[in-house]
């Protein structure tokens, strides 16, 4: 999914950790069919809150 934003051949040395973290956050908040249209973040929070 990172390749949707950073195309093949992209030099990751040209961005900051903050910029990369923003993209990762967007990916984790994206609804996914496999999770019944919940985001990975929602699934993670649900599972960790039930511990």
Mean pLDDT of the chain: 95
Predicted pLDDT of residue 17: 97
Query: Both tokens of residue 13?
Result: 């040395």
* Spatial separation of the C-alpha atoms in residues 31 and 39, rounded to whole Å: 4
Mean of pLDDT values over 18-46: 97
Mean of pLDDT values over 20-37: 97
Query: Both tokens of residue 16?
Result: 């900051």
Predicted pLDDT of residue 51: 87
pTM across the whole model: 0.80
Query: Both tokens of residue 23?
Result: 């993209």
* Spatial separation of the C-alpha atoms in residues 10 and 39, rounded to whole Å: 26
Structural domain for 9, as ranges: 2-49
Predicted pLDDT of residue 33: 98
Using one digit for the tens of pLDDT, what is the confidence trace for 9-28?
999 999 999 999 999 999 99
The dihedral through the CA atoms of 30, 36, 42, 43 has a sign that is negative
Number of structural domains, the chain?
1
């Amino acid at each position: 999914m990172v390749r949707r934003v950073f195309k093949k051949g992209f030099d990751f040395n040209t961005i900051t950790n903050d910029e990369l973290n923003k993209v990762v956050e967007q990916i984790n908040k994206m609804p996914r069919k496999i999770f019944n249209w919940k985001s990975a973040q929602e699934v993670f929070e649900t599972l960790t809150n039930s511990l």
